[in-house]
Chain A
Amino acid sequence: MNEINWMAGGPQGAGVDSAANILGRACGYGGLYVYGRREYHSNIKGLHSYFHLRISDQEVHANVNDVDLLAAFDAETVVRHINEVVPNGGIIVDKELVGTKVFNIPTLPYEFKDELHKYVDRKGLGDTLGDFLNGAKKEGVHIFLIPYTDLLKQIAAKLGIEKLVTVTRMINVLTIGVSFALLKYDQSLVEKAVLTVFSDKPKVADMNIVALREAYAYASHTFTNSFQRKLEKIDTTEQRIFLSGNQAVAMGKVLGGCRIQTYYPITPAADESEYLEAHEILKTRTGEGSIVVVQTEDEIAAINSASGACLAGARAATSTSGPGFSLMVEGLSWAGNCEVPVVITYYQRGAPATGLPTRFGQADLQFAVHAGHGDFPRIVLASGDIEECFYDAALAFNYAERYQMPVIHLIDKALANSSQTYRFFDTGSFKIERGAILGESELKDQQYRRFEFTESGISPRVILGTRNGVHWYTGDEHNEVGHISEEPANRDMMVEKRMRKLETADREIPMGEKLKVFGDEESENLVVSWGSPKGAILEAMNKLTREGLSLKFLQIRMIHPLPKEHVAELLKNATKIITVENNYSGQLAEIIREKTGIQTNFRILKFNGRPITMTEVYGALKKVLLGQAPERQVLTYGS
């Protein structure tokens, strides 16, 4: 099989990201599909980070637990991930590190050391890295000790560089070179990737090419046929991209006509805004365009300035994570009350409080649905993969403007920071739907009523600045014109009008945008999930189906308003209803019960800050299908 699970790990700041980027591209050039997950500490330099790439000639949508080839930049990477490396897999590590006393690695936290002591005792290992490697070797893992210092000296000599420290940063490229040489992969594709990744730094690119060649030559010569796994390029004419969720959302916003983005720095949302800012001048088919990206003083300013921009007629959005969204909540309520089409891209991370700032979680679902004081309409749309992040980011603006309400586009760290290969997205068939807007020519001399009572609840908007359209907004309850009103009858009608829009949205938005059903239509076993577990569930379902176990998967995208009749119908026909989500309480399961009255039977949950892998969800689902699972399974894989 043409498939490899490759992991590169090292201290933050050592080039793990660029190594993964080079590797992902090199595989892409060879017609292969890549799914990559990035894990990192809330730290700038020094703490452990890694990239886990799954590379295949088939489309891949999720990680598995296994690592076939571990490229370690430091001793900690070996210690942390050695038990994930499969028999016949390989570990690439610096020869000079074998003497490292494992328990003296300064960056290991004591709670991890406690676990490590147990591991050492169980395996009967010594306390050096060499002992660990020997232990793995006995289990069939190939150990590739690389004399990095020697190689770097040779590289420095070739480049005419005197100081070794100038070239030590290239250990990441050496590791890539060794990895690909072991996999006997076409070297020219890797060189092409290096040149692309460093295209804006030609000198660095040249140095890295020299390093890469050195590593290739060394590994091919030294480890002839000692690693059985191979990675072969395949021919394809398809145009593909390799991108992260952050990038997909940014591009989707451009497609959707977003022209102002506000944000306050927060992980894992900020990458999207920075990417947009770097691309602030836009090409459009109607001439030049731009997106103004504003870094505000806090998230309160971010949402409220985005709302202001919406009132003035721009499509505007803000991006944040849980702590930032918490600050935005009053602004959300104002936007709901004043019928502002503002879009909030909500990247969930490990919570509560600061939680796990750089890790993953899906525990903000109920919060997104209920945040804000008072009853007001909103739409909560959850994307399940990077491609959906793209289209949904655009779609969110249509929903917001058609129904004049805030739209929360709910995604998460696993989508934001994972990268995946896709065919070029279709951008030619996205229709911009701005909803009812009145222009100057449609306005007469009589007072325009911004919040006119209508059957659909939707009152045609007028953009600030339009002649003859003067009106008012207020966070107070208001009359049709927009002036403060505390009259009970007006209050009743205005609340009813606002809330009616939600029914209109529920009625009008096509079911295909609200949910997706995969797998065996007839199956009595129904998996229900939302957000990023989608990829792992789909792959697990395929594997279970091949084993003769039938399964249907309902991905709910429209969390609010939940298409409750349709969901209830699907649920009624199932015997086993299994929810899969990354939180403690089963928040989707609770929403389903609240809205449909139906109690789901099984909950597969995970909340350790790491995404559900295909391996895990496969195992958990299989247990349920075979009748061996408790009602609540908590998954714990993670490193």
Chain B
Amino acid sequence: MGLKITDFKTDVFADWCPGCGDFGIMTAMQMALAEMGLEPHQIVLVSGIGCSGKVPHNVKTYGVHTLHGRTLPFAMGIKLANPELEVIAIGGDGDGLGIGAGHFVNTGRRNLDITYIIHNNGVYGLTKGQASPTLKLGLKTKAIPKPNINQAVNPIALALTSGYTFVARSYAYDVLHLKNTIIRAVEHKGLAFIDALQPCPTYNDINTKEWYGGEDRKDPNTGKPQPRLYKLDETGFDPIVHTEEEDLKKKLQAIEKANEWGDRIPIGVFYINDLEPTFIERIIHRIPFYLSKPPAKQEISDENGMSSADLTEFFEELKTS
């Protein structure tokens, strides 16, 4: 029916700082949704707390802006109640890998059929620039009083070892790449993760747009900046797990790639495994009619409004007469 990007825009003022990567992620999201042909009411955007948490208010789909770190549990409840909904969870790096790290790992164990995008900028922006779990050890971004004394979490490697079956990285300022990555993630069967690298123009004065763009390391011959980001698929990297036996090998190569940082930072898809049963499939294994009668769609009352429950079997088990 040909929805346009504008069909996914709201009239809410996006209050991020000028130059914030959130603008790119929001735009990529709107473009992806329009391109996929989904209608606004079929989608639920679930977010956490922080600058990224506000994204749903700027996207015209159902939006659930939840608590700090709790994006994934809310998303799980929504998806399990009505698996027809396309559920996309988004949150910051502190949200997903700090306060919500337990949910990050455990949602992976379930291979829940949703998409999860982390806005990764290395800082807690909305609380004025503290170090996030992805800021490297020893770095001192401008608002923190002393250099960071914590090692950084590697989101890609953590996703791979937690059970995510689609693991990718993209960049907020490469909107087309991000849009395409979102589409692939949403279309993936199972739990998809996107590590969306994103400068914070206000608080992260190290991993800036210029830094990602390689402005500080110009080619001595051409004088052109040498971007740090490169695309995995342009290197012949094959992220797909073709057979179950191949899984470990594919995970290990992805982890190896995930550890590249500094002058060469890969973006693109690190790992895809379509062989692992999704959480929905695991439920169907126990409740065969789950998809045709999901929790939100069951008739719990009859035509007179009375409970439709038939507890005969419970009583039979417990009866003493």
Whole-angstrom CA separation of A29 from B319 in the bound complex: 9
Q: Which residue of B lies closest to A284 (CB)?
A: B308
Instruction: Flag if B102 contacts A475 (CB, 8 Å).
Output: no
Tell me if A260 counts as interface (CB < 8 A to partner B).
yes
Interface residues of A in 445-501 (CB under 8 A from B): 463-476, 482-484
Whole-angstrom CA separation of A307 from B80 in the bound complex: 12
Instruction: Flag if A309 contacts B296 (CB, 8 Å).
Output: yes
Interface residues of A in 384-429 (CB under 8 A from B): 394, 421, 424-425, 427-429
Whole-angstrom CA separation of A208 from B65 in the bound complex: 58
Q: Which listed segment binds A: B134-142, B179-187, B253-261, B283-291?
A: B283-291
Hey, what's the 0/1 contact readout for A213-246 against B, CB within 8 Å counting as 1? Answer: 0000000000000000000000010111111000
With a cutoff of 8 Å between Cβ atoms, the chain B residues found around residue A474 in the complex are 57, 63, 65
Shortest beta-carbon distance from B67 to chain A in Å? 5
Given the known interface contacts A297-B103, A308-B76, A312-B296, the answer about A464 and B82 at a Cβ–Cβ threshold of 8 Å is yes
With a cutoff of 8 Å between Cβ atoms, the chain A residues found around residue B17 in the complex are none
Instruction: Flag if A292 contacts B295 (CB, 8 Å).
Output: yes
Instruction: Flag if B77 contacts A483 (CB, 8 Å).
Output: no
Tell me if A164 counts as interface (CB < 8 A to partner B).
no
With a cutoff of 8 Å between Cβ atoms, the chain B residues found around residue A314 in the complex are 81-82, 294-296
Instruction: Flag if A257 contacts B63 (CB, 8 Å).
Output: no
Whole-angstrom CA separation of A330 from B62 in the bound complex: 22
Count contacts on A: residues with CB < 8 A to the other chain. 88
Tell me if A298 counts as interface (CB < 8 A to partner B).
yes
Select which of A238, A280, A302 is within 8 A of B321 by beta carbon: A238
Whole-angstrom CA separation of A473 from B298 in the bound complex: 24
Instruction: Flag if B73 contacts A467 (CB, 8 Å).
Output: no
Whole-angstrom CA separation of A544 from B76 in the bound complex: 54
Tell me if A270 counts as interface (CB < 8 A to partner B).
no
Instruction: Flag if B309 contacts A313 (CB, 8 Å).
Output: no
Whole-angstrom CA separation of A259 from B295 in the bound complex: 5
Instruction: Flag if B54 contacts A484 (CB, 8 Å).
Output: yes
Instruction: Flag if B306 contacts A25 (CB, 8 Å).
Output: no
Instruction: Flag if B298 contacts A289 (CB, 8 Å).
Output: yes
Instruction: Flag if B289 contacts A290 (CB, 8 Å).
Output: yes
Tell me if A341 counts as interface (CB < 8 A to partner B).
no
Tell me if A24 counts as interface (CB < 8 A to partner B).
yes
Select which of B73, B77, B321 is within 8 A of A260 by beta carbon: B77
Tell me if A106 counts as interface (CB < 8 A to partner B).
no
Instruction: Flag if B308 contacts A301 (CB, 8 Å).
Output: no
With a cutoff of 8 Å between Cβ atoms, the chain A residues found around residue B54 in the complex are 484
With a cutoff of 8 Å between Cβ atoms, the chain B residues found around residue A473 in the complex are 63-66
With a cutoff of 8 Å between Cβ atoms, the chain B residues found around residue A428 in the complex are 306
Shortest beta-carbon distance from B85 to chain A in Å? 5
Shortest beta-carbon distance from A354 to chain B in Å? 20
Interface residues of B in 261-316 (CB under 8 A from A): 283, 286-287, 289-290, 293-302, 305-315
Count contacts on B: residues with CB < 8 A to the other chain. 69
Shortest beta-carbon distance from B321 to chain A in Å? 5
Counting chain B CB atoms within 10 Å of each CB, the highest count among A243, A259, A288, A306 belongs to: A259
Whole-angstrom CA separation of A256 from B40 in the bound complex: 32
Instruction: Flag if B85 contacts A464 (CB, 8 Å).
Output: yes
Tell me if B56 counts as interface (CB < 8 A to partner A).
yes
Hey, what's the 0/1 contact readout for A274-311 against B, CB within 8 Å counting as 1? Answer: 00000111111111111110101110111011111111
Whole-angstrom CA separation of A427 from B66 in the bound complex: 37
Q: Which residue of A lies closest to B72 (CB)?
A: A301
Q: Which residue of B lies closest to A34 (CB)?
A: B320
Interface residues of A in 23-43 (CB under 8 A from B): 24-25, 27-29, 31
Instruction: Flag if A280 contacts B286 (CB, 8 Å).
Output: yes
Tell me if A251 counts as interface (CB < 8 A to partner B).
yes
Tell me if B84 counts as interface (CB < 8 A to partner A).
yes
Tell me if B61 counts as interface (CB < 8 A to partner A).
yes
Whole-angstrom CA separation of A273 from B255 in the bound complex: 38
Given the known interface contacts A257-B309, A260-B77, A484-B57, the answer about A292 and B283 at a Cβ–Cβ threshold of 8 Å is yes
Tell me if A433 counts as interface (CB < 8 A to partner B).
yes
Q: Which residue of B lies closest to A241 (CB)?
A: B318
Interface residues of B in 215-260 (CB under 8 A from A): none
Whole-angstrom CA separation of A10 from B319 in the bound complex: 27
Shortest beta-carbon distance from B71 to chain A in Å? 9
Instruction: Flag if A241 contacts B320 (CB, 8 Å).
Output: yes
Interface residues of B in 5-50 (CB under 8 A from A): 10, 12, 39-42, 44, 46, 49
With a cutoff of 8 Å between Cβ atoms, the chain B residues found around residue A305 in the complex are 73-74, 76-77, 80
Tell me if A316 counts as interface (CB < 8 A to partner B).
yes
With a cutoff of 8 Å between Cβ atoms, the chain B residues found around residue A431 in the complex are 301, 305-307
Instruction: Flag if A427 contacts B307 (CB, 8 Å).
Output: yes
Tell me if A262 counts as interface (CB < 8 A to partner B).
yes
Hey, what's the 0/1 contact readout for A312-343 against B, CB within 8 Å counting as 1? Answer: 11111000000000000011001000000000
Select which of B10, B84, B302 is within 8 A of A465 by beta carbon: B84
Instruction: Flag if A257 contacts B319 (CB, 8 Å).
Output: no
Tell me if B178 counts as interface (CB < 8 A to partner A).
no
Whole-angstrom CA separation of A434 from B275 in the bound complex: 40
Whole-angstrom CA separation of A236 from B321 in the bound complex: 8
Whole-angstrom CA separation of A406 from B54 in the bound complex: 25
Tell me if A255 counts as interface (CB < 8 A to partner B).
yes
Q: Which residue of A lies closest to B41 (CB)?
A: A467
Tell me if B143 counts as interface (CB < 8 A to partner A).
no
Tell me if B88 counts as interface (CB < 8 A to partner A).
no
With a cutoff of 8 Å between Cβ atoms, the chain A residues found around residue B85 in the complex are 312, 464-465
Q: Which residue of A lies closest to B300 (CB)?
A: A257
Tell me if A5 counts as interface (CB < 8 A to partner B).
no
With a cutoff of 8 Å between Cβ atoms, the chain A residues found around residue B293 in the complex are 287-290
Tell me if A430 counts as interface (CB < 8 A to partner B).
yes
With a cutoff of 8 Å between Cβ atoms, the chain B residues found around residue A279 in the complex are 313-314
Select which of B56, B63, B74, B308 is within 8 A of A307 by beta carbon: B74
Counting chain A CB atoms within 10 Å of each CB, the highest count among B69, B81, B283, B293 belongs to: B81
Instruction: Flag if A304 contacts B70 (CB, 8 Å).
Output: yes
Given the known interface contacts A465-B85, A484-B54, the answer about A334 and B67 at a Cβ–Cβ threshold of 8 Å is yes
Knowing that A28-B320, A259-B295 touch, tell me 18 more A-B residue pairs with CB under 8 angstroms.
Answer: A242-B320, A279-B314, A283-B312, A284-B298, A284-B299, A297-B102, A304-B70, A307-B74, A308-B75, A312-B77, A312-B85, A421-B320, A427-B310, A429-B306, A464-B64, A470-B41, A472-B64, A475-B66
- Interface residue ranges, B against A (CB under 8 Å): 10, 12, 39-42, 44, 46, 49, 54, 56-57, 60-67, 69-70, 72-82, 84-85, 102-103, 105-106, 283, 286-287, 289-290, 293-302, 305-315, 318-321
Can you list the 5 inter-chain pairs with the closest CB atoms, starting with the nearest? Answer: A28-B320, A308-B77, A257-B300, A259-B295, A305-B77
Listed A/B pairs (8) with beta-carbon separation below 8 Å: A241-B320, A255-B307, A286-B299, A309-B80, A311-B64, A432-B305, A465-B41, A473-B64
- Interface residue ranges, A against B (CB under 8 Å): 24-25, 27-29, 31, 236, 238-243, 247, 251, 254-257, 259-260, 262, 279-292, 294, 296-298, 300-302, 304-316, 330-331, 334, 394, 421, 424-425, 427-434, 463-476, 482-484
